[in-house]
C-alpha cells in the first residue's frame, strides 16, 4: 500500500485550462489524461489524498459526471477540502474528508491543507506541509510543498518525490520570525 498526493485536478472545469495555461483543448481531454495518469500509478489498495478542488465547472455539473469520475479512480480516496469542493463533491463516498489532516507516511510526517500555511503542527520537528490552491504560481519552500497537478505534470506524487523536491526549494523567508528556535 502506498500513499499518493495531489491537488487541484479541477475535473470538469473548462476555464481552469485558460486560467492556468493547461495544455488541453477541453475539460474532457484534461479529465481523461489526469484520470489515465492516476490509473497508471495508483493501485487498488493505495491511498489517494486529493488536497482540494476535486472538480468544478460546467462539465462537472452534468448529471452523474462527478460520481462516475470518482468511482473510476483507483485506490481509497481521501479529500482535504478546497475552496471549490461543494456539496456534490463532499457527498461522494470518500474514505475520509478533512479541512486539515496529519498523515504519517513511512518515515515522513505530512500536514495536508489545501492552502499554503506559514507554520503548522510539527513544523520545527520535520513535518512537511502539503498544499495546492496556488496552481503553477508557487512551488513552495523546503518544508511546505505544492502537490498540485499543475506543478507535477498532471500526476500524483509520493513521499520520496515530495521530500526530494523539498530539498531543492528555498527556506521560507519568514521562517525564523514565525518559528524561532527556542528551548522549552
- At the topology level, CATH places domain 3-174 in Purple Acid Phosphatase; chain A, domain 2 (3.60.21)
User: Are the C-beta atoms of residues 76 and 46 closer than 8 Å to each other?
Assistant: yes
Phi first, then psi, for residue 55 (nearest 5°) are: -150, 160
Give the model confidence (pLDDT) of 46-100 as tens digits: 999 999 999 997 777 788 899 999 999 999 999 999 999 999 999 999 999 999 9
For 51, the 3-state DSSP assignment is coil
CA proximity to 20, closest of 148, 135, 114, 132: 135
Under the banding of pLDDT at 50, 70 and 90, the label for residue 108 is: very high
pLDDT at 130: 98
89: nearest Cα among 112, 73, 111: 73
Distances (CA, A) of 177 to 11, 20, 119, 127: 38, 32, 11, 18
| C-alpha span between 129 and 49 (Å, rounded) | 13
Q: Cell numbers of 156, please?
A: 500524483
* pLDDT tops 80 at residue 16: yes
For the residues 5-26, what does the mean pLDDT come to? Answer: 97
Q: Rounded to the nearest 10 degrees, what angle do helices 27-39 and 65-72 cross at?
A: 20
List, for residues 129-151, the tens digit of each pLDDT value. Answer: 999 999 999 999 999 999 999 99
**CB neighbour list of residue 173: distance below 8 Å, 6 or more residues apart:** none
Are the CB atoms for 13 and 56 separated by under 8 Å? yes
Query: Which pLDDT band holds residue 124 (cuts at 50, 70, 90)?
Result: confident
Does 178 score more than 60 pLDDT? yes
Amino acid at each position: 500500500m502506498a500513499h499518493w498526493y495531489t491537488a487541484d485536478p479541477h475535473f470538469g472545469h473548462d476555464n481552469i485550462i485558460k486560467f492556468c495555461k493547461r495544455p488541453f483543448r477541453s475539460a474532457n481531454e484534461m479529465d481523461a489524461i489526469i484520470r489515465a495518469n492516476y490509473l497508471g500509478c495508483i493501485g487498488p489498495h493505495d491511498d489517494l489524498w486529493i488536497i482540494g478542488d476535486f472538480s468544478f465547472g460546467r462539465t462537472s455539473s452534468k448529471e452523474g459526471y462527478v460520481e462516475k469520475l470518482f468511482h473510476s479512480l483507483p485506490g481509497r480516496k481521501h479529500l482535504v477540502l478546497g475552496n471549490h469542493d461543494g456539496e456534490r463533491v463532499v457527498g461522494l463516498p470518500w474514505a475520509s474528508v478533512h479541512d486539515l489532516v496529519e498523515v504519517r507516511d513511512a518515515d515522513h510526517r505530512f500536514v495536508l491543507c489545501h492552502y499554503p500555511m506559514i507554520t503548522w503542527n510539527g513544523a520545527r520537528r520535520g513535518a512537511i506541509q502539503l498544499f495546492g490552491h496556488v496552481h503553477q504560481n508557487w512551488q513552495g519552500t523546503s518544508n511546505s510543498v505544492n502537490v498540485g497537478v499543475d506543478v507535477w505534470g498532471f500526476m500524483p506524487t509520493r513521499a520520496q518525490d515530495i521530500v526530494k523536491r523539498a530539498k531543492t526549494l528555498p527556506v521560507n523567508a519568514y521562517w525564523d520570525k514565525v518559528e524561532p528556535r527556542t528551548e522549552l
